[in-house]
Amino acid sequence: MQKKWVVDTNFVYHAMVKTFGQYDIVLISTVKQELDNHKTAISDDLRFQARQANRFIFENYDSFTHITTEYDAEEILGTEYSNEVKDNKIVACAKANGFGILTNDLNMYSTARDFGIPVESFNENTELNFERYKGFTEVKVTQEEMIRFNVEYLTKNKYNLYLNEYLILTDDLGNQEAFLWNGAYHESLNPKLVFRSTHLETYQPKDVYQLLAMDSIIRNKFTIINGVAGVGKTLGALSYAMQEIEAGTNFNKLIFITNNMPAKDAFYNGLVKGSLIEKLLSSSIGNMLGSKLGSKDQVLDMIMSGVLEIIPLSDVRGWEPQENSIVLISEGQNFSREGMKLAIQRVPSTCKLIIEGDSLTQVDSKLFEGRNNGMLIASEVFRGQDYFGQVELQNVYRSEMAKRAELMSNWK
Percent of the chain with pLDDT over 70: 91
From CA 336, how far away is CA 260, in angstroms rounded? 13
388, burial (CB in 10 Å: exposed 0-12, middle 13-18, buried 19+):
buried
Q: Which residues does residue 311 pair with via DSSP β-bridges, in sequence order?
A: 257
Mean pLDDT (the chain) is 87
pLDDT band at 405 (very low <50, low <70, confident <90, very high): confident
- Picking from 96-110, 256-270, 307-321, 338-352, which range would have the lowest pLDDT averaged per residue? 256-270
**346 residue type, one letter:** R
The phi, psi pair for 302, rounded to 5°, reads -65, -40
Q: Which residues does residue 93 pair with via DSSP β-bridges, in sequence order?
A: none
Tens digit of each residue's pLDDT (9 = 90 or more) over 7-53: 998 889 888 888 888 889 999 999 999 898 888 877 777 888 888 89
Secondary structure of residue 253 in the 3-state scheme: strand
pLDDT band at 1 (very low <50, low <70, confident <90, very high): very low
**55 residue type, one letter:** R
Instruction: Name every residue whose Cβ is closer than 8 Å to that of residue 209 and which is 6 or more positions away in sequence.
Output: 136, 231, 391, 392, 393, 394, 395
Distance from the Cα of residue 96 to its chain's centroid: 36
pLDDT band at 268 (very low <50, low <70, confident <90, very high): low
**Of 358, 134, 384, 145, which Cα lies nearest the Cα of 264?**
358
Q: CB-hemisphere CA count at 13 Å for 81? A: 21
pLDDT at residue 125 in the model = 41
From CA 397, how far away is CA 294, in angstroms rounded? 19
Does position 270 have pLDDT exceeding 70, yes or no? no
Query: pTM value?
Result: 0.67
Tens digit of each residue's pLDDT (9 = 90 or more) over 98-156: 898 998 777 788 888 888 888 887 654 444 445 578 999 888 889 999 999 999 999 99
From CA 391, how far away is CA 165, in angstroms rounded? 9
From CA 201, how far away is CA 291, in angstroms rounded? 13
DSSP 39-101: TT-S-HHHHHHHHHHHHHHHHTGGGSEEE-PPP-HHHHH-TTS-TTSHHHHHHHHHHHHT-EE
